Chain A
Amino acid sequence: MRLRVDPILCDGYGQCAELLPEAIMLDEWGYPILAPRPIDRELEPAARRAVSMCPRLALSLEKAA
C-alpha cells in the first residue's frame, strides 16, 4: 500500500505526521512530505488511522502501482 495526499484538499493540520512519523514528515509550513516508499505491512494500521483522522480527508491509502 502507498499513501497519497491531495495537495488541494490538504490544509496542513499536520495530524498525519504525528500519527505516522515513520512515513510522514512536515515541510516548514506544516504540509506533509510522504516517504517515497510503500507502507510496510506492520505500519498499515497506523497509516489507516492517519487516513481516517485527517480533518480534510486529504490523505488516502492506495494499492501500490
Chain B
Amino acid sequence: MSALALARRPDPDHRLLSAHDHGPLPGIRRRELFAEIEASGLTGRGGAAFPTAVKLAAVARASDPVVVANGTEGEPASWKDKVLLAENPNLVVDGAVIAARIVGASRVIVAVGRGNRTVLRRVERAIAARSDRVDVHVETVPSRFVAGEESALVHSLEGGPAKPTLKKPYERGILVQNVETLANVGLVARYGADWFRERGTADEPGTALVTVLGAVRSPGVVEVELGTPVRDVIQRVGGLAELPQALLVGGYFGTWMHAHDVLDLPLANASLRPLGADLGARTIVVLPQGACGLGESVRVVRYLAGETAGQCGPCVFGLPAMAEALEALDVGRLRRLAPQVSGRGACAHPTGATRFVASAVEVFADEIRRHRERRCRGGGHPPVLPLGASTEWR
C-alpha cells in the first residue's frame, strides 16, 4: 500500500503517547482499511478484548450507523484513557473517523466523563481545529462506574439514565469502541498491520496503556509492549517503593494475585488467563506488605455495591450481601452467594464484583485468619485503592 509506505513512522514503542506528527489521514478506501485492521489482529482495549474487525463488520451491515469513542473510564483505578485523550486527542479522533469510514457512519461522538474538565477541554479544542468529512462532537456522561459500559453509555447519550440495557449497541448499528482501541485504528490506517505487529505477541499484538498505582515510586500511566514482564512494567514507573504483598490486576472487576505469582509473568491475557486473571481494565495496583488486603477489598466491594445501576435484583441485593459477608469474614456465606450473583445481571457488574471477591478470599486467606484472631497486619496503613466520587445518573 503506497500511502502506508510513504508515511514517516512513529517509534513503535511509544506509538500512543508520543508527540509524533502523524500528518493528515491517508485517503484509503474502506475495503483496504478494513483489511488492514483485520490483518493487524487489533482487539478492544476497554476490557473485553473483543476483535475490533469483527465488531466493525457487524456494525457495517446496519443502516445509518454511528461511531462512539468511549473515553468515559469510570474505573477509579484507571487513568489511561484520560491520559491518552489529554495527550493525543487527535489520534483518537483519527481512529474514530477511520472507523466511521469503514462502517459507513456520518456521525462520531466522543464520550467523556463529566468529572474531567482538562480532558474535555483538550478534546474540544482538538475537534474544533479539525475539518473532517463526518460530524464529530463531544458529549459528557455521568462519572459513574457503570456509565462506561457500552449499553449504559448509549442509553445516556440517547437521553436516558446511564444504566445498561439488555440490547447491545452493535446490534443496532452503534459502534462503541474504547478510545485506546480507536487510537490504534488511527495508527494501523496510517502505518499498516505489519508495523502494528512489530510489538506485542503474535496472539496479542501491539502495545498497551497501563495504569500502575500503589506501592510504586511514580504511579501513573505507561505504554508497554503486550507481553512485557510485569516486573518490567513496574520498573517503568520507577520500580517498587515498598515490598509488595499482592497485585490487583485488571481493576475492580479484576483479580488479586500473590506478588510472587505475578511479577515474572508476561503482561498478556495468554499468561494471565490460566491463573484466572486477565488484562481487564489494564491497571495494576501494587499492595505493599504493610497494608491490609482484606480491608482494601471490603472498601472496593462496598464501592461496587454503591455503584450498582439498581436494575437487577441479584446485583442490588447480592453486592451489599457480599460486602457484609467479607467484612464478617464469612467465607462459607461468600461461597453460597457467588452463584446467586455472578452472571445474573444485564451487564458484567455483579459478575466482575464476584470475581474480585473470590480472588480476595483466596489471596488474603491468611489475613482473614488473622482477623478472626483479632490481629490485622495493616492497622493504620493509609488506603491504597482509589475510589471514585459518584454523581447523578443523568
Instruction: Please give the residue numbers on chain A whose beta carbons come within 8 Å of chain B beta carbons, in ascending order.
Output: 6-8, 10-12, 27-31, 33
Q: Which residues of B contact A31 (CB under 8 A)?
A: 313-314, 344
Interface residues of B in 295-334 (CB under 8 A from A): 311-314, 317-318
Q: How far is the CA of A11 from the CA of B340 in the complex (A)?
A: 15
What residues on A are CB-neighbors of B346 within 8 Å?
6-8
Q: How far is the CB of B213 from chain A (nearest CB, A)?
A: 33
CA separation between A13 and B175, bound complex, in Å? 36
Set of chain A residues within 8 Å of B340, measured between Cβ atoms: 27-29, 33
Contact of B344 with A7 in the complex, beta carbons under 8 Å: yes
Cβ–Cβ contact B317 & A7, under 8 A: no
- Decide yes or no whether B345 CB sits under 8 A from chain A: yes
Residue of A at shortest CB range from B165? A8
Q: In the complex, how many angstroms separate the beta carbon of B194 from the nearest chain A beta carbon?
A: 38
Complex interface: chain B residues within 8 A of A11 (CB): 313
Q: Nearest CB to that of B344 among chain A residues? A: A7
6 contacts between A and B (CB under 8 A): A7-B346, A8-B312, A27-B314, A29-B340, A31-B313, A33-B340
Alpha-carbon distance between A8 and B311 when the two chains are bound, in angstroms: 5
Chain B window 158-170, contacts with chain A (Cβ cutoff 8 Å), 1 for yes, 0 for no: 0000001110000
**When the two chains form their complex, are residues A8 and B166 in contact, meaning their CB atoms are under 8 A apart?**
yes
A12 CA to B312 CA, complexed, in Å = 10
Closest to A29 in B: B317
One digit per residue, 1 when the CB lies within 8 angstroms of any chain A CB and 0 when it does not, for chain B 326-360 equals 00000000000000100011100000000000000
Give 8 closest A-B pairs by Cβ, nearest first: A7-B312, A31-B313, A29-B317, A27-B340, A8-B311, A8-B346, A12-B313, A7-B346
Cα–Cα, bound, A10→B312 (Å): 7
Given pairs A7-B344, A33-B340, 5 additional interface contacts (CB within 8 A): A8-B312, A8-B346, A10-B313, A12-B313, A29-B317
Residue in B166, B312, B313, B345 whose Cβ sees the most chain A Cβ within 10 Å = B313
